[in-house]
Amino acid sequence: MEKIFKTEIAGRPLVVETGKIAQFANGAVLIHYGETVVLSTVTASPEPREGIDFFPLSVDYEEKQYAVGRIPGGFLKREGRPGEKAILTSRVIDRPIRPLFPKDLRNDVVVSNTVMAVDPDCLPEITAMVGTSIAIAISDIPWKGPVGGVVLGLIDGKTIINPTLEEREKSDMYVTLAGTEKKICMVEAGANEVPDDVMLNAIAEGHEVIKEIVKFINSIVDEIGKPKFEYESADVPEDVFAAVKEFGWDKMRAAVLSDDKSVRDANVAALQEEIAAMLEEKEEGLSSWAPDAVYKLEKKVVRDYLFREHVRVDGRALDQIRPLSAAVDVLPRVHGSSFFQRGQTQVMNICTLAPLSEAQKIEGLDEQTCKRYIHHYNFPGYSVGEAKASRSPGRREIGHGALAERSLIPVLPSEEDFPYAIRTVSEITMSNGSTSQGSVCASTLSLMAAGVPITRPVAGISSGLIVNEENDEDFLVFMDIQGIEDFFGDMDFKVAGTTEGITSIQVDIKVEGLSLDIIKAAFEMTHKGRLQIINDIILPCIPEPRAELSKYAPRIISMQIPVDKIRDVIGSGGKVINKIIADTGAGIDISEDGTIHISSPDLEAAEKAKMIITGIVADPEVGTEYDGVVTRLMDFGAFVEFLPGKEGLVHISKMAWNRVEKVEDVVHEGDQVKVKVIEIDSQGRINLSMRDTMPKPEGYVEEEPRRRAPRERRNGGNGNFGGRRDRGERNFDEGNDEPPRKGARRREF
């Protein structure tokens, strides 16, 4: 039966329609926030998937171009694979809902969000997150939700909930926050060096709004929610795990204590074989539980070491970062390069500079149409010792690249100060925890090595969490998690920033939520870590951005011309600008506001192109000399192109100081000549002189202007043009050379 539920978030109406659309799904809602509309559905398979050891959840966020009144580009004119923004939004929705599903559930669950209309002031991402929570909550799929979500902005120190488009443009941060009624489930943030305490206060304010959203969702569940279905647990049987624990507890404690991941993995693999043999001997077929049982045993041992004994498997203190090292200029010829290592995590980063025309074009549902700074993250199989062929980047690679990108944007120079498109690429050469934050550090180094004038270095670090399973108020936060602590811990809390404040946050959790006390402890831990990396590693490696770019990087010169002169620079059919490019080898980009960026690896070529353009847009002044090319010859002179697209006439009398009988005696088409502007008439026509660019000959005397011949000589001697005598006219007296005006009375002489 169709039902409609209404509330408000941040002063804008939220309307939820159920029972009408997509009724075959386990749960479905058509959710309106302002004029943004999203269809959120969730579907579960009736049977568990065989042969897997994880919960198979898929979250999709589909952007439809019709939602903003556009037709997709390309030949097919239909939406293709999801763009980067859609993939990142899917991850943001996935992270808060995943920990609330039963870990032993093996039924496929697919969440789908289709954006059908977009109001720029009401974000479709948050609408989809709330819609997803409602769809799952009212379905029959087992889940411990609901969750609510908001976006936080910061303007003049004040927290803004779900900022409008205008407010987002002025905001100092963009934080996506999700949580249950009691805990925070997810934080994803980009910020302009916001202090830790300001960020924490904003999260607290956002959670108060989330609580109201969760209450609203619970009221819907109370009215139309379905009973949750029963499922077959995929967890290791209790008696099997009890036997494994008794046999292998002490052996596992010894196996995991190593600062070398490969040694630790080999020890655990050997122990798994022992446990499999023990189980098979105990009962035929029981060894099939060995992998899951060993994973569970290893998790309990690592957590026990950390929580009970404050011992880390590699021997570090809880607030100690693994050994750090850094270097720049590790590759020749590239514009900037670096190498950063933390423990057994290695990142090589390469920076490339290009004209702004190389900025990435974006086709999405928001107002962003291009991206000047691009960070790409590559995670090959060899980095973790896997024999896996390279494939196109997955969601994890795209997400980690976007996180590092977001971390550096606040410290990049403006386009006006540094008119370059910038791409950094992180190549993960070895991975044992927090490669995304290693990418942040490596990117800072390569940007500075490339001569990008960033305002301050940025460093990233992660902290982990262990929560007491019997009392979630009892917890332990620790610095710089490695892979095993990420796998078996409860949180990966990544924070990047400068000495002045936070630039990005990403929080992944495996528990049902985080308290503000946990978040505060994580902020304190990561603040200490990033300052240590900046002061002890980055600045000693390269204290400031280089003053000079690599000799292989393009030199870009910016200039501004009047908008009404753009046509002159481009020329008919691009003739003028193409000639400048051909003559100088420089690349030229012209914006609609008259901004011109000239790029070339050769600075002289760029300067030459600038000089030519300056000449085109400047109105020629009398007395200015130019180098020109003869374009056309006439009987009375030659036309010379002295600036691209601008011609003037050199009269035959102005070609040389001596008398010139024929133009061809002095110049030919294509000749290069030096000319001087001597006159610009009222119609804008330009008269040039070649002789005025040359020294005047010694003793030169200006010739008298050539006088025109008497009219009778010019007219055949009879006073009539062409020598013709008008009928009825008599001959004039010999001394009279003035013919009568036609039609005038005849005078007597």
Q: Lowest mean pLDDT: which of 447-456, 586-595, 718-727?
A: 718-727
Mean pLDDT, residues 519-531? 96
pLDDT higher than threshold 60 for residue 740: no
Closest by CA position to 404, among listed 344, 340, 459: 459
pLDDT higher than threshold 90 for residue 699: no
- The domain limits of the chain are 3-158+174-224, 238-309, 324-541, 554-616, 619-697
pLDDT more than 70, % of the chain: 93
Mean pLDDT, residues 567-583? 90
Mean pLDDT, residues 352-381? 88
pLDDT at 369: 76
Structure tokens at 659: 């008398």
- 190 touches 130 (CB < 8 A): no
Closest by CA position to 318, among listed 621, 529, 495: 529
- 268 touches 298 (CB < 8 A): yes
pLDDT (tens digit, 9 = 90+) per residue, 488-510? 999 999 999 999 999 999 999 99
Q: Which helix (H) or strand (E) holds 520?
A: helix 516-533
Residue, of 712 and 252, whose pLDDT is higher? 252
Class of domain 324-541: alpha beta
Residue whose entry in the numeric block shows the structure tokens 């960026």: 597
| Count of CA atoms in the C-beta half-sphere (13 A) of 441 | 35
pLDDT (tens digit, 9 = 90+) per residue, 17-53? 999 999 999 999 999 999 999 999 999 999 999 989 8
pLDDT higher than threshold 70 for residue 738: no
Supply the DSSP string of 82-133, one letter for each residue: --HHHHHHHHHHHHHHGGGS-TT--EEEEEEEEEEE-BTTB-HHHHHHHHHH
Q: How far apart are CA 84 and CA 39, in angstroms?
A: 20
Q: Lowest mean pLDDT: which of 430-444, 658-672, 703-717?
A: 703-717
- 441 touches 461 (CB < 8 A): no
Amino acid sitting at position 666: V
Structure tokens at 732: 């004039």
CATH architecture for residues 238-309: Orthogonal Bundle (1.10)
Per-residue pLDDT band for 470 (boundaries 50, 70, 90) equals confident
Q: What is the DSSP letter of 741?
A: P
Supply the DSSP string of 533-557, one letter for each residue: HIIIIIHHH-SS--SS--TTSPEEE
pLDDT at 43: 98
Mean pLDDT, residues 313-327? 94
- 358 touches 556 (CB < 8 A): no
pLDDT at 458: 98
pLDDT higher than threshold 70 for residue 704: no
Per-residue pLDDT band for 705 (boundaries 50, 70, 90) equals low
Per-residue pLDDT band for 706 (boundaries 50, 70, 90) equals low
With a CB cutoff of 8 Å and minimum separation 6, the contacts of 678 are 622, 623, 654, 687, 688, 689, 692
pLDDT higher than threshold 80 for residue 720: no
Closest by CA position to 98, among listed 54, 149, 48: 54
pLDDT higher than threshold 50 for residue 56: yes
Q: What is the DSSP letter of 635?
A: T
Q: Lowest mean pLDDT: which of 195-199, 474-478, 714-718?
A: 714-718
Amino acid sitting at position 124: P
Q: How far apart are CA 482 and CA 341, in angstroms?
A: 13
Residues 549-580: b if buried by 16+ CB within 10 A, e if exposed: bbeebbbbbbeebeeeebebbbbeeeebbeeb
pLDDT at 700: 73
Within a 10 A sphere around the Cβ of 728, how many other Cβ atoms? 5
Mean pLDDT, residues 106-120? 97
- 372 touches 419 (CB < 8 A): no
pLDDT higher than threshold 50 for residue 749: no
Supply the DSSP string of 10-77, one letter for each residue: TTEEEEEEESSS-TTSSEEEEEEETTEEEEEEEEEEEEEPTT-SS--EEEEEEE-GGGGT----SSS-
- 522 touches 493 (CB < 8 A): yes
Amino acid sitting at position 408: L
Closest by CA position to 421, among listed 360, 359, 370: 359
| Count of CA atoms in the C-beta half-sphere (13 A) of 699 | 0
Matching fold, domains 554-616 and 619-697: no
Q: Which CATH topology does 3-158+174-224 take?
A: Ribosomal Protein S5; domain 2 (3.30.230)
- 641 touches 612 (CB < 8 A): no
Mean pLDDT, residues 416-442? 95
Please, which residues bridge with residue 641 across strands?
629, 647
What are phi and psi for residue 64, nearest 5 degrees? -105, 125
pLDDT higher than threshold 90 for residue 245: yes
Structure tokens at 443: 């990117």
Residue, of 643 and 709, whose pLDDT is higher? 643
Q: What is the mean pLDDT of the chain?
A: 90
Per-residue pLDDT band for 732 (boundaries 50, 70, 90) equals very low
3-state secondary structure of 657: coil
Find out if CATH 3.50.50.60 is the number for domain 554-616. Answer: no
The CATH code of the domain at 619-697 is 2.40.50.140
User: Is the dihedral angle over the CA atoms 428, 431, 435, 438 positive or is it negative?
Assistant: negative
pLDDT at 748: 41
pLDDT (tens digit, 9 = 90+) per residue, 601-615? 888 899 999 988 988
Amino acid sitting at position 722: G
What are phi and psi for residue 80, nearest 5 degrees? -105, -140
pLDDT higher than threshold 70 for residue 716: no
- 18 touches 138 (CB < 8 A): yes
- 243 touches 282 (CB < 8 A): yes
pLDDT at 713: 45
pLDDT (tens digit, 9 = 90+) per residue, 191-227? 999 999 999 999 999 999 999 999 999 999 999 999 9
Q: What is the DSSP letter of 514?
A: B
The widest CA-to-CA distance across the chain, in whole angstroms, is 151
β strands within 530-671, DSSP E? 555-560, 587-590, 595-600, 625-634, 637-643, 646-651
Closest by CA position to 338, among listed 255, 440, 251, 485: 440
What does the CA dihedral 740, 745, 748, 749 come to, rounded to 10 degrees?
-20
Q: How far apart are CA 748 and CA 57, in angstroms?
A: 119
Structure tokens at 494: 């990544």
pLDDT (tens digit, 9 = 90+) per residue, 251-273? 999 999 998 888 999 999 999 99
pLDDT (tens digit, 9 = 90+) per residue, 270-311? 999 999 999 999 999 899 999 999 999 999 999 999 998 898
Q: How far apart are CA 630 and CA 668, in angstroms?
A: 7
- 385 touches 432 (CB < 8 A): no
End-to-end CA distance of the chain: 121
- 494 touches 460 (CB < 8 A): yes
With a CB cutoff of 8 Å and minimum separation 6, the contacts of 106 are 48, 49, 52, 55, 56, 231, 232, 234
Q: What is the DSSP letter of 562?
A: -
pTM for the whole structure: 0.83
pLDDT more than 90, % of the chain: 75
pLDDT higher than threshold 60 for residue 727: no
What are phi and psi for residue 141, nearest 5 degrees? -85, 130
- 199 touches 503 (CB < 8 A): no
Q: What is the DSSP letter of 723?
A: G
Closest by CA position to 579, among listed 520, 644, 529: 644
- 14 touches 3 (CB < 8 A): no
pLDDT higher than threshold 70 for residue 561: yes
Q: How far apart are CA 369 and CA 85, in angstroms?
A: 12
pLDDT (tens digit, 9 = 90+) per residue, 674-692? 999 999 988 889 999 999 9
3-state secondary structure of 240: helix
Per-residue pLDDT band for 718 (boundaries 50, 70, 90) equals very low
pLDDT higher than threshold 90 for residue 730: no
Closest by CA position to 348, among listed 310, 379, 319, 389: 379
What ranges in 423-480 are assigned the alpha helix state H? 435-449
Mean pLDDT, residues 578-593? 91
